[in-house]
A and B are shown apart, each in its own frame.
Chain A
Amino acid sequence: MGTFILLRHSLRRARTLVLGLALVLSGFQLVLTAVAASLQRTNAFGPLASMIPEFFRQFVGPSTLAMLSFAGIVSAGYFHPIVIAALLALVVALATEPAAEIDAGFADLVLSRPTPRQSVVSRSVLAIALSTAFVLAAMLAGTRLGLHLLAPAYGGAWPSAHLLLSLVANLGALAWCWAGVAMAIAARASRRSVAGAATGVIALAAFLVDYVGRAWPAAQMWARLSPFHYFSPLELVMGTSLRPADVAVLLAVGCGGIAASYVLFARRDI
């Protein structure tokens, strides 16, 4: 019971952030569809691809060509770094709410009542799941709306529903993974800013480890330690199916972090 009272309270407080992000990201999907339709209309993909220097094409691999297609441009919103950063910022904000409540003193009002501590954690888990699902659904709706409104003539070039769902699932799993990490940190922290900053630094380090690992074979082994290693949207755009093992790793890290947050929050002094 306490979980749902707190969930309602949290969603009410976060509604501007969640609705705003959903609006911006779904709008971004519409814009990307318009851009893709414009390039398709002028047959610009071929000339654009030929302008890329050969050494760069070899460096980044075949993904460049995949990106320079109607489906590639439309799909870019699901792995653009700014989109990933925005979505992760949302889940970190929601995941660090227990620390924020301790910081503000609101936890005293909540936990002085017959509210189990696990309700506070469960509330955050549900808030993250619902908010992330809502934002991803809004992005998907933006893409579908854009395709039907702005590119009805290029139906043959549209990214398949399977591809879009795979991209959404991949991005959602990545968000879940970092939500778990943020929750585990927030369960021990007394300040949201500390928990958020710590998660941000870890995410940045993990991103760089993966980035270096992809570009430098000697560092490839270390890249496996980064959750971003298991996030491969470009491969999906190139036609590879979503690897269940990769999704499982991301979900497992997220679930592990959440399980740790239940234990840590139950044991801590407030």
Chain B
Amino acid sequence: MSTGAALAIRGLTKRYGRLTAVRDLDLDVEVGEVFGFLGVNGAGKSTTIRILLDFVRPTAGRASILGHDCQRAGLAARAAVGYLPGELGFYEDMTGDAVLDVTARLSGADAVRGVYRRELADRLELSASDLGRRIRDYSTGMKRKLGIVQAFQADPPMLVLDEPTEGLDPLMQEAFYALLADVRRRGRTVFMSSHVLSEVERVCDRIAVIRKGTLVLLFDASAPPPPALPEGCELVDSMPTEWRVRVRGPLGPLLARLAGLAVRDLEVHEVPFEEVLRPYYREDTT
């Protein structure tokens, strides 16, 4: 099943006795795309991901990653994937470094560049002393950061991320989004599940919504280019369906500019308290 897509799913079905976890799912994810897979808990997101990684065998249908059938050519498919599980299963008596070493060797030692691994750890604020500690001493957020490093460290062509920001504080979520933006710039494909709409809306090019194992919605969330902004306005963030603009001075010129666009909604906020606090939240702030 070679379609040229990074990920191709055709008629995928998984039944557990009477329960149908995934029902006749069809999906294509293009190379270089960040694809959001949205659904409430139990919707079938994790089952679909586990089929892609050949942990679970489908009842019917097929899936392929970069042209490799996930079941028949599972090894080749998984060689192209970095995976972040929803629930991280680290042995508590292992150190962070030991986890990264074992997973790197299993990915093929050549595939992992030490420099890139260190860069990832730095960006997620995992210090060398953190990595030297045993997992039992890690907080939930640190475990999640370690999970992200192990998934990204081989710099694979495709990343499969199950609830990647679960347990991360707002600053680390930002750092993760920046990582995601970097890998997208380098042409990597990302398939991430989440149950947080605002998160996938912010970072994904397309979003699929799954409910009771069935695909109920698939839409393009890529952002149109932002308009030229009047003086005193600064584009803070450009999301697929949302722009955030900081305005110093009167709102009038901005509203006049927006008047010619198909604006669905407009919210005006004072500067969020979090942004005021952010400079003081970091350890290195004096």
Residues on A lying within 8 angstroms of B by beta carbon are 2, 5-6, 9, 13, 101, 104-116, 267, 269-270
Contacts and interface: CB of A to CB of B under 8 A. Distances in A.
Nearest to B87: A105
Given A108-B83, A112-B78, A113-B78, A2 B106 contact: yes
A112 to B, nearest CB: 4
Interface in B136-184: 150, 160
Contact of B91 (A6, A13, A270): A13
B235 to A, nearest CB: 38
Contacts of B229: none
Interface string B94-121: 1000010011011110000000000000
A110 B106 contact: yes
A109 B75 contact: no
14 contacts: A5-B106, A13-B94, A104-B90, A104-B91, A105-B89, A111-B53, A111-B54, A111-B78, A112-B160, A113-B103, A114-B106, A114-B108, A115-B75, A269-B55
A190 to B, nearest CB: 12
Interface string B68-89: 0000000110110101010111
B220 interface: no
B106 A113 contact: yes
Q: Which DSSP category, helix, strand, loop or mixed, fits chain A's interface? A: helix
B50 interface: yes
B75 A114 contact: yes
A109 B84 CA distance: 8
B57 interface: yes
B27 interface: no
B56 interface: yes
B113 to A, nearest CB: 16
Contact of A115 (B88, B89, B106): B106
A109 B56 contact: no
Interface in B32-82: 50, 53-57, 75-76, 78-79, 81
Contacts of B88: 105
Contact of A269 (B57, B91, B160): B57
Contacts of A5: 102, 105-106
Interface of B: 50, 53-57, 75-76, 78-79, 81, 83, 85, 87-91, 93-94, 99, 102-103, 105-108, 150, 160
B197 to A, nearest CB: 26
Nearest to A270: B55
Contacts of B102: 5, 9
B75 A270 contact: no
A13 B94 CA distance: 9
A74 B57 CA distance: 54
Contact of A105 (B85, B103, B107, B150): B85
Contacts of B87: 105
B75 A111 contact: no
A109 B55 CA distance: 11
B135 to A, nearest CB: 11
Given A5-B106, A112-B83, A116-B75, A106 B91 contact: yes
Given A109-B83, A269-B55, 12 more contacts: A2-B106, A5-B105, A101-B89, A104-B91, A108-B55, A109-B150, A112-B55, A113-B79, A113-B106, A115-B75, A115-B78, A115-B106
A106 B85 CA distance: 10
Given A5-B105, A9-B102, A269-B56, A108 B85 contact: yes
A114 B107 contact: yes
A18 to B, nearest CB: 15
Contacts of B93: 13
Nearest to B82: A112
Contact of B107 (A13, A101, A113, A270): A113
A116 B81 CA distance: 15
A114 B99 CA distance: 16
Given A13-B93, A114-B108, A269-B56, A109 B85 contact: yes
Contacts of B78: 111-115
A114 B76 contact: yes
Contact of B79 (A111, A114, A270): A114
B153 to A, nearest CB: 11
A109 B78 CA distance: 11
Contacts of B105: 5
Task: Report which residue of B57, B87, B102 has the largest number of chain A beta carbons within 10 angstroms of its beta carbon.
Answer: B102
B31 to A, nearest CB: 20
Nearest to B90: A106
Contacts of A2: 106
A52 B91 CA distance: 53
A94 B99 CA distance: 20
